[in-house]
């Protein structure tokens, strides 16, 4: 079916009511109709494509007020990319985010992230913008060129954005396999863990996300109470891995979990897995991590 479309037809094809479409037109200029016979609103194929993109973004947990200022400009200019390859414009968005961290400009960073999620599919926004920007900001911090405040500002905003994706992706109902996700004791870097948790949720796993620096005793008590199929732990420093490895790998007998997965930059290469304790080396592709966990917990539901 091709345009032009009356507003009732556009509403039927997109699932947005005519009243909502008119409100978005008035408030945001999101769609700009032509006028047909009798001054009725009529819309084109570009408007339909834009609204389908809006639907995808809303389903990913975005708010219309965040995406409206950017999405029409980018979609009508052909700048939005949703495929699996490197995203057009991602380099510029990364640069703006890094510059905002260096300048301690939280508003500029939030605006760049709003634009990122408005014009890129969530998977590309995370893989092509957030992850590399986080690495670059971390490297600049290590080199003394980015302040602790700038690094913390960026981390907080990245975690917030991915956390919203995780919340939106959580499978409904009680039938999904459950995985507890947490960081090693003394481990406060949790962006990688949250990204993995989001991907697992997208594959039908229910995440019980506990976050940073989880003491082993508290983790064991939580698992005994909630009875997950598996535990997923993240560690970014080898010194932390060495300090707490024994406490962590002996968790399983005291919980109801059947599998323990441990990954991150802190896992020494060559660490040997067992049937129930699986270690992911730092260079393990993300897709392999997700496939292994989904397969393991799915087969033991």
Confidence of residue 75 (pLDDT cuts 50, 70, 90): low
pLDDT at 299 over 70: no
- Count of domains forming the chain: 3
Judge if 215 and 286 occupy the same domain. yes
pLDDT at 81 over 50: no
What confidence tens digit (pLDDT) does each residue in 242-256 have? 999 999 888 888 787
In this prediction, residue 55 carries a pLDDT of: 85
Other CB atoms closer than 10 Å to residue 194's CB: what's the count?
24
Peptide bond preceding 112 in cis form (omega within 30 of 0): no
In this structure, what token pair is assigned to residue 175?
Answer: 């039938």
What share of the chain in percent tops pLDDT 90?
Answer: 56
Residue with tokens 């697992």: 200
In this prediction, residue 49 carries a pLDDT of: 83
In this prediction, residue 39 carries a pLDDT of: 74
Q: Which range has highest mean pLDDT (11-15, 113-117, 283-287)?
A: 283-287
> Looking at residue 129, what DSSP letter applies?
I
> Looking at residue 120, what DSSP letter applies?
B
Q: Residue 188 falls within a domain, yes or no?
A: yes
In this prediction, residue 65 carries a pLDDT of: 79
Look at 38 and 274; give whichever has higher pLDDT. 274
Q: Which of 167, 195, 217 is the last residue of a domain?
A: 167
Confidence of residue 120 (pLDDT cuts 50, 70, 90): confident
Judge if 139 and 183 occupy the same domain. no
- For residue 254, what is the domain's CATH number? 3.40.50.280
Judge if 102 and 182 occupy the same domain. no
- Domain hosting 126: range is 90-167
Q: Which range has highest mean pLDDT (99-103, 111-115, 221-225, 294-298)?
A: 99-103
In this prediction, residue 201 carries a pLDDT of: 94
**CA distances in angstroms from 255 to 134, 220, 223, 239, 264, listed in the order given:** 34, 6, 5, 26, 23
- For residue 96, what is the domain's CATH number? 1.10.1240.10
In this prediction, residue 84 carries a pLDDT of: 43
> Looking at residue 51, what DSSP letter applies?
H
Query: Which residues have CB under 8 Å from 203's CB, separation 6+?
Result: 290, 294
Choice among 82-96, 115-129, 241-255, 266-280 with the minimum mean pLDDT: 82-96
Judge if 138 and 249 occupy the same domain. no
101 closest CA partner among 90, 92, 112, 91: 112
What value does the mean pLDDT take over residues 20-48? 82
- For residue 23, what is the domain's CATH number? 1.10.1660.10
Judge if 208 and 163 occupy the same domain. no
pLDDT, the chain, mean: 88
In this prediction, residue 82 carries a pLDDT of: 45
Choice among 118-127, 176-185, 250-259, 292-301 with the minimum mean pLDDT: 292-301
Q: Measured on CA atoms in the order 110, 116, 122, 126, is the torsion positive or negative?
A: negative
User: In whole angstroms, what is the distance from residue 40 CA to residue 201 CA?
Assistant: 44
What value does the mean pLDDT take over residues 257-277? 93
Judge if 117 and 215 occupy the same domain. no
């Amino acid at each position: 079916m091709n345009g032009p479309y009356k507003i009732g037809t556009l509403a039927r094809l997109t699932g947005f009511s005519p009243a909502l479409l008119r409100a978005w037109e008035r408030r945001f200029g999101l769609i700009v109709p032509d006028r047909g016979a009798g001054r009725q609103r009529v819309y084109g194929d570009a408007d339909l494509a834009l609204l389908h993109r809006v639907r995808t973004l809303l389903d990913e947990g975005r708010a219309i007020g965040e995406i409206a200022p950017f999405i029409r400009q980018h979609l009508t200019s052909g700048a939005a990319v949703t495929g699996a390859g490197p995203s057009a414009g991602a380099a510029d968005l990364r640069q703006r985010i890094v510059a905002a961290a260096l300048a301690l400009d939280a508003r500029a960073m939030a605006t760049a992230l709003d634009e990122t999620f408005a014009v890129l599919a969530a998977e590309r926004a995370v893989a092509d913008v957030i992850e590399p920007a986080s690495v670059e900001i971390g490297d600049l911090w290590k080199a003394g060129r980015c302040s602790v405040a700038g690094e913390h500002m960026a981390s907080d905003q990245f975690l917030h954005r991915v956390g919203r994706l995780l919340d939106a992706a959580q499978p409904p109902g009680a039938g999904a396999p459950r995985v507890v996700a947490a960081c090693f004791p003394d481990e406060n870097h949790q962006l990688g863990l949250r990204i993995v948790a989001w991907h697992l949720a997208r594959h039908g796993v229910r995440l019980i996300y506990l976050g940073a620096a989880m003491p082993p005793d508290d983790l064991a008590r939580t698992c005994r109470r909630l009875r997950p199929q598996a535990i997923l732990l993240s560690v970014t420093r080898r010194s932390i891995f060495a300090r707490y490895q024994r406490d962590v790998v002996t968790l399983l007998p005291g919980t109801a979990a059947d599998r323990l997965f441990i990954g991150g930059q802190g896992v020494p290469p060559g660490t040997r897995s067992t049937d129930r304790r699986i270690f992911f080396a730092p260079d393990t592709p993300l897709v392999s991590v997700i496939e292994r966990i989904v397969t393991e917990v799915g087969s033991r539901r």
